[in-house]
Amino acid sequence: MGRFLLKRFFQTILILIIISILAFSLIHIIPGDPVYAMLGTDISPEYHDQVYHSMGLDLPLVKQYFRWVGNFVQGQMGYSYHFKEDVSTLVARRLPPTLILGILSAVVSVILGLLFGIITAVRRGKPIDSVLTVLANIGIATPIFWLAVLLVFVFSLRLKLLPSWGFTFPWVDFGRSMKQMVMPVLCMSVGGIASYTRQTRSSMLEVIGQDYIRTARSKGLKESQIIKKHAVKNALIPILTLIGLTLRNSIGGSAIIERAFNISGMGSVMVEALSARDYVALQSGIVFLALITCVCNLLVDIAYAYADPRIRLE
């Protein structure tokens, strides 16, 4: 177990190094001069040279990389000419809302998805299975932006129950925060709930057909105990892999939701930075996304090893 985790930890570090190299090269891969690309061509040559020098672009590549990494680790991610502030303060301001929404929607989709999946598997062929399975298929097919518009139309414009935009931290104003988050979290988790329902259903059905479930039945256990104690833990193992992807997807894909509900989060930073060719912000954003993904994957691996003794004991 310890060796397994150590191995996975080193692999994670390796992946982060590779991604940081890729993110770093971004600025050098694009055609043309990065400073002109960022600031436009109508700046004075003196200003260009000043920025060029301040970004360290005149240093040798290897040195530049290490300087960039060193600064990054210390929290200095450079100055974004587009957002007109330090990237570190930008990220500190814009990442938390995205993280909160992402984690919340991941939790919601996992819990509801597993629950629906288990119900549909246990009640296979019954009306509730058909209803939930149809809903899950609809959920997978529903475009998020359309759902967002629909929800705003119904709950904000017609029923006037929920605010249509904005984000407040729960510790600032809990009630308002919750009201504002209901619709974004719902939109972000619909796809997850739907796909978890389907995955859990098929995984559960497979497990229920296994010999050890027959063994458990032959011992005289109650069906509910068999599901709880013998089936669910086995069925979760393949689902765990998906959970790692969910958080990354909801953070990576948060741009649409942030735009729809007018939330200033990390997703919109990335989109804006990309269209404004703000490589400094973009580089840091990529590394943050990679970091979150890697941490999620590492957590999943730990959970995996915990859930499956066959891996733990290897």
Partner 1 sequence: MSEHLLDVKHLQTVFHMGDGLVRAVDDATFHVDEGEIIGIVGESGSGKSVTMMSILKLIAMPPGEIVGGEAIFQGRDILKYGPTSEEIREIRGGGISMIFQEPMTSLNPVLTVGQQIMESIMLHLKMNKADARKRTIELLGQVGIPDAESRIDYYPTQFSGGMRQRVMIAMAMSCDPKILIADEATTALDVTTQEQILELLRDIVKKTNTALIIITHNLSIIARYAERIYVMYAGNIVERGTSEELFVTPAHPYTMGLLRAIPRLDSDKSRRLVSIDGTPPNPAKKTGRCPFYERCIYKEERCDINELPEYIEYSETQASACRFRREELLAKAPPEAKEANRRSIGKEPVLQLKGLSKYYPVTQGIARRKVGDVKALDDVDLTIYQGETVGLVGESGCGKTTLAKTVLRLHPATGGEIIFRGEDITNLPERKLNSIRRDVQFIFQDPYGSLDPRQTAGSVVGEAIKTHKLAKDKADYERRIDELFRAVGLDPALKNRAPHEFSGGQRQRLCIAAALASEPKFIICDEPISALDVSIQAQIINLLIDLQAERGLTYLFIAHDLSVVRHISDRIAVMYLGKVVEISPWDRLYENPMHPYTRALLSAIPIPDPVVEKARKRTRIEGEVPSLINRPSGCVFHPRCPYATERCSKEVPPLKDYNGHEAACFRIGEI
Query: Minimum CB separation from partner 1 for residue 8, in Å?
Result: 11
Query: Minimum CB separation from partner 1 for residue 217, in Å?
Result: 6
Instruction: Identify which of residues 28 and 229 has a Cβ nearer to partner 1 in the complex.
Output: 229
Instruction: Identify which of residues 86 and 308 has a Cβ nearer to partner 1 in the complex.
Output: 308
Query: Minimum CB separation from partner 1 for residue 125, in Å?
Result: 9
Instruction: Identify which of residues 124 and 176 has a Cβ nearer to partner 1 in the complex.
Output: 124
Q: How many other CB atoms are there within 10 angstroms of residue 233's CB atom? A: 12
Query: Minimum CB separation from partner 1 for residue 227, in Å?
Result: 12
Instruction: Identify which of residues 67 and 233 has a Cβ nearer to partner 1 in the complex.
Output: 233
Query: Minimum CB separation from partner 1 for residue 223, in Å?
Result: 5
Judged on CB neighbours under 10 Å (0-12, 13-18, 19+), 6 is: exposed
Instruction: Identify which of residues 10 and 145 has a Cβ nearer to partner 1 in the complex.
Output: 10
Binding site for partner 1 (CB under 8 A): 7, 10, 210-212, 214-223, 225, 229-230, 233-234, 237, 307-310, 313
